[in-house]
Amino acid sequence: MRRFGTAIILFGGILVLLFGGCSKKTYHVEGSDAFSGLKQSYRAGEQVEAYFRWIATDTDYTFYLDDTVINPDYEEDKGFVLRFDMPARDVTLRVEGRNTMEYQPEIDTEGASLRFDSFEGGGYEYLAETDDPSVVALDTSREYAAGDPGLYTDGASYTWVLTVYGLKSGTARVTVTGESGLMDPVKRVYLAEVDDALNVTLTQIEENTEETP
Protein backbone atom coordinates (compact mmCIF):
# COMPACT_ATOMS: atom_id res chain seq x y z
CA MET A 1 0.00 0.00 0.00
CA ARG A 2 2.85 2.35 0.85
CA ARG A 3 4.52 1.64 -2.51
CA PHE A 4 1.24 2.31 -4.33
CA GLY A 5 0.84 5.68 -2.55
CA THR A 6 4.42 6.62 -3.40
CA ALA A 7 3.78 5.83 -7.08
CA ILE A 8 0.72 8.07 -7.09
CA ILE A 9 2.72 10.95 -5.60
CA LEU A 10 5.50 10.51 -8.17
CA PHE A 11 3.01 10.33 -11.05
CA GLY A 12 1.30 13.45 -9.79
CA GLY A 13 4.63 15.25 -9.63
CA ILE A 14 5.38 14.35 -13.23
CA LEU A 15 1.98 15.69 -14.34
CA VAL A 16 2.64 18.97 -12.54
CA LEU A 17 6.00 19.33 -14.25
CA LEU A 18 4.59 18.50 -17.67
CA PHE A 19 1.49 20.64 -17.55
CA GLY A 20 3.20 23.38 -15.58
CA GLY A 21 5.83 23.69 -18.32
CA CYS A 22 3.20 23.70 -21.04
CA SER A 23 1.31 26.50 -19.37
CA LYS A 24 4.26 28.90 -19.49
CA LYS A 25 3.10 32.04 -21.27
CA THR A 26 4.09 32.60 -24.88
CA TYR A 27 4.07 35.69 -27.09
CA HIS A 28 3.52 36.42 -30.75
CA VAL A 29 5.31 38.30 -33.54
CA GLU A 30 2.63 40.32 -35.33
CA GLY A 31 2.63 41.80 -38.85
CA SER A 32 4.88 39.06 -40.15
CA ASP A 33 3.42 38.37 -43.64
CA ALA A 34 6.57 39.66 -45.36
CA PHE A 35 8.86 37.36 -43.36
CA SER A 36 9.49 33.63 -43.33
CA GLY A 37 10.99 31.36 -40.68
CA LEU A 38 8.79 32.62 -37.84
CA LYS A 39 7.08 30.30 -35.37
CA GLN A 40 3.53 30.80 -34.13
CA SER A 41 4.68 31.82 -30.64
CA TYR A 42 7.78 32.33 -28.51
CA ARG A 43 8.63 32.33 -24.85
CA ALA A 44 10.26 35.40 -23.29
CA GLY A 45 14.02 35.30 -23.88
CA GLU A 46 13.79 32.83 -26.78
CA GLN A 47 15.73 33.89 -29.87
CA VAL A 48 13.59 34.86 -32.86
CA GLU A 49 14.98 34.42 -36.36
CA ALA A 50 13.12 35.82 -39.38
CA TYR A 51 14.05 35.94 -43.08
CA PHE A 52 13.23 38.60 -45.65
CA ARG A 53 13.78 37.37 -49.21
CA TRP A 54 11.82 39.95 -51.23
CA ILE A 55 14.86 42.03 -52.11
CA ALA A 56 14.10 44.41 -54.98
CA THR A 57 16.49 46.39 -57.11
CA ASP A 58 16.78 50.10 -56.28
CA THR A 59 15.24 49.64 -52.83
CA ASP A 60 16.78 50.34 -49.44
CA TYR A 61 15.08 48.45 -46.61
CA THR A 62 14.66 49.48 -42.98
CA PHE A 63 13.42 46.92 -40.47
CA TYR A 64 11.56 47.77 -37.27
CA LEU A 65 10.80 45.80 -34.13
CA ASP A 66 7.86 47.86 -32.89
CA ASP A 67 9.33 51.39 -33.29
CA THR A 68 13.01 50.41 -32.93
CA VAL A 69 15.26 49.95 -35.96
CA ILE A 70 16.79 46.47 -36.09
CA ASN A 71 19.85 45.89 -38.29
CA PRO A 72 19.77 42.67 -40.36
CA ASP A 73 22.49 40.25 -41.37
CA TYR A 74 22.61 38.90 -44.89
CA GLU A 75 22.97 35.25 -45.92
CA GLU A 76 23.03 34.14 -49.54
CA ASP A 77 20.41 31.40 -49.14
CA LYS A 78 18.11 33.30 -46.76
CA GLY A 79 18.30 36.97 -47.77
CA PHE A 80 18.14 39.47 -44.91
CA VAL A 81 18.18 37.71 -41.54
CA LEU A 82 16.78 39.39 -38.42
CA ARG A 83 17.57 37.99 -34.97
CA PHE A 84 16.41 39.22 -31.57
CA ASP A 85 15.44 37.90 -28.15
CA MET A 86 11.70 37.75 -27.59
CA PRO A 87 10.53 40.20 -24.91
CA ALA A 88 7.76 39.34 -22.45
CA ARG A 89 5.07 40.82 -24.70
CA ASP A 90 3.70 40.63 -28.22
CA VAL A 91 5.77 42.58 -30.76
CA THR A 92 5.35 43.82 -34.33
CA LEU A 93 8.00 43.19 -36.97
CA ARG A 94 7.75 45.34 -40.10
CA VAL A 95 9.77 46.58 -43.03
CA GLU A 96 9.80 49.86 -44.96
CA GLY A 97 11.31 50.23 -48.43
CA ARG A 98 12.64 53.37 -50.08
CA ASN A 99 13.94 53.83 -53.61
CA THR A 100 17.69 54.27 -53.24
CA MET A 101 17.98 56.37 -56.38
CA GLU A 102 15.60 59.11 -55.31
CA TYR A 103 17.20 62.52 -55.22
CA GLN A 104 16.45 66.01 -54.01
CA PRO A 105 18.09 68.67 -56.18
CA GLU A 106 19.33 71.75 -54.38
CA ILE A 107 19.82 74.37 -57.08
CA ASP A 108 21.88 77.49 -56.31
CA THR A 109 25.11 79.19 -57.35
CA GLU A 110 27.02 76.71 -55.19
CA GLY A 111 25.96 73.83 -57.40
CA ALA A 112 23.16 71.26 -57.51
CA SER A 113 23.16 68.17 -55.29
CA LEU A 114 21.85 64.64 -55.76
CA ARG A 115 21.39 62.45 -52.67
CA PHE A 116 21.25 58.65 -52.60
CA ASP A 117 20.69 56.33 -49.64
CA SER A 118 22.97 53.35 -49.03
CA PHE A 119 24.53 51.32 -46.21
CA GLU A 120 27.88 49.78 -45.31
CA GLY A 121 28.51 46.12 -45.99
CA GLY A 122 26.41 45.54 -49.10
CA GLY A 123 24.69 48.78 -50.08
CA TYR A 124 25.26 50.51 -53.40
CA GLU A 125 28.71 51.94 -54.10
CA TYR A 126 28.11 54.92 -56.37
CA LEU A 127 30.27 56.43 -59.11
CA ALA A 128 29.63 59.69 -60.99
CA GLU A 129 31.03 60.76 -64.37
CA THR A 130 30.41 63.59 -66.83
CA ASP A 131 30.87 63.70 -70.59
CA ASP A 132 32.06 67.33 -70.50
CA PRO A 133 34.32 68.29 -67.56
CA SER A 134 34.78 71.76 -69.05
CA VAL A 135 31.09 72.57 -68.26
CA VAL A 136 30.66 70.93 -64.84
CA ALA A 137 32.82 69.66 -62.01
CA LEU A 138 31.72 66.80 -59.73
CA ASP A 139 32.29 66.35 -56.02
CA THR A 140 31.12 63.44 -53.84
CA SER A 141 30.85 62.82 -50.11
CA ARG A 142 29.12 60.62 -47.51
CA GLU A 143 26.86 61.78 -44.69
CA TYR A 144 26.26 59.42 -41.78
CA ALA A 145 23.41 59.81 -39.30
CA ALA A 146 24.55 61.92 -36.34
CA GLY A 147 25.31 59.75 -33.36
CA ASP A 148 24.91 56.52 -35.30
CA PRO A 149 26.55 53.87 -33.07
CA GLY A 150 27.17 51.69 -36.13
CA LEU A 151 29.22 54.34 -37.94
CA TYR A 152 31.45 52.74 -40.59
CA THR A 153 30.34 49.22 -39.61
CA ASP A 154 28.26 46.77 -41.64
CA GLY A 155 24.64 47.90 -41.78
CA ALA A 156 25.41 51.55 -40.96
CA SER A 157 23.25 53.75 -43.20
CA TYR A 158 24.56 56.82 -44.96
CA THR A 159 23.66 59.27 -47.72
CA TRP A 160 25.93 59.51 -50.74
CA VAL A 161 25.95 63.11 -51.97
CA LEU A 162 26.93 64.21 -55.47
CA THR A 163 27.37 67.95 -56.01
CA VAL A 164 27.57 69.29 -59.57
CA TYR A 165 29.27 72.68 -59.97
CA GLY A 166 28.94 74.91 -63.03
CA LEU A 167 32.20 75.98 -64.67
CA LYS A 168 30.76 77.73 -67.73
CA SER A 169 27.37 78.06 -69.40
CA GLY A 170 26.28 75.06 -71.44
CA THR A 171 25.03 71.51 -71.01
CA ALA A 172 26.64 68.22 -70.01
CA ARG A 173 25.53 64.71 -69.22
CA VAL A 174 26.15 63.33 -65.72
CA THR A 175 25.97 59.57 -65.23
CA VAL A 176 25.53 57.94 -61.81
CA THR A 177 26.04 54.18 -61.51
CA GLY A 178 25.50 52.00 -58.46
CA GLU A 179 27.12 48.60 -57.82
CA SER A 180 26.25 46.21 -54.98
CA GLY A 181 27.09 42.63 -54.09
CA LEU A 182 23.50 42.13 -52.94
CA MET A 183 21.45 43.93 -55.58
CA ASP A 184 21.39 44.45 -59.34
CA PRO A 185 23.47 47.32 -60.77
CA VAL A 186 21.69 50.58 -61.51
CA LYS A 187 22.37 53.62 -63.68
CA ARG A 188 20.86 57.11 -63.93
CA VAL A 189 21.76 59.78 -66.49
CA TYR A 190 21.06 63.48 -65.85
CA LEU A 191 21.24 66.52 -68.09
CA ALA A 192 23.13 69.33 -66.34
CA GLU A 193 22.21 72.81 -67.64
CA VAL A 194 24.45 75.68 -66.55
CA ASP A 195 23.28 79.27 -67.05
CA ASP A 196 25.38 82.45 -67.34
CA ALA A 197 25.40 82.86 -63.54
CA LEU A 198 26.71 79.27 -63.22
CA ASN A 199 23.48 78.04 -61.64
CA VAL A 200 23.04 74.32 -62.31
CA THR A 201 19.77 72.54 -63.08
CA LEU A 202 19.70 68.74 -63.16
CA THR A 203 17.06 66.74 -65.03
CA GLN A 204 16.97 62.95 -65.15
CA ILE A 205 16.84 61.82 -68.77
CA GLU A 206 17.66 58.10 -68.59
CA GLU A 207 17.24 55.18 -66.22
CA ASN A 208 18.54 51.65 -66.52
CA THR A 209 18.66 48.53 -64.34
CA GLU A 210 20.70 45.55 -65.40
CA GLU A 211 19.81 42.15 -64.00
CA THR A 212 22.75 40.19 -62.65
CA PRO A 213 23.12 36.87 -64.53
Per-residue pLDDT of 8-59, as tens digits, reads: 445 445 544 454 544 479 999 987 677 888 998 999 999 999 998 877 656 7
> CB neighbours (10 Å) of residue 62?
16
Indicate if the pLDDT at residue 84 is higher than 90. yes
> CB neighbours (10 Å) of residue 53?
12
Q: Which segment of 93-97, 155-159, 164-168, 196-200 scores lowest on mean pLDDT?
A: 155-159
Whole-model pTM over 0.85: no
Average pLDDT, the chain: 79
115-158 pLDDT, tens digit each: 998 887 788 889 999 999 899 999 888 887 655 555 556 677 88
Looking at residue 146, what is its pLDDT? 57
Comparing CA positions, the residue from 101, 61, 80 lying closest to residue 209 is 101
d(CA 212, CA 209): 9
Looking at residue 211, what is its pLDDT? 44
Percent of the chain with pLDDT over 70: 74
Classified as helix, coil or strand, 17 is helix
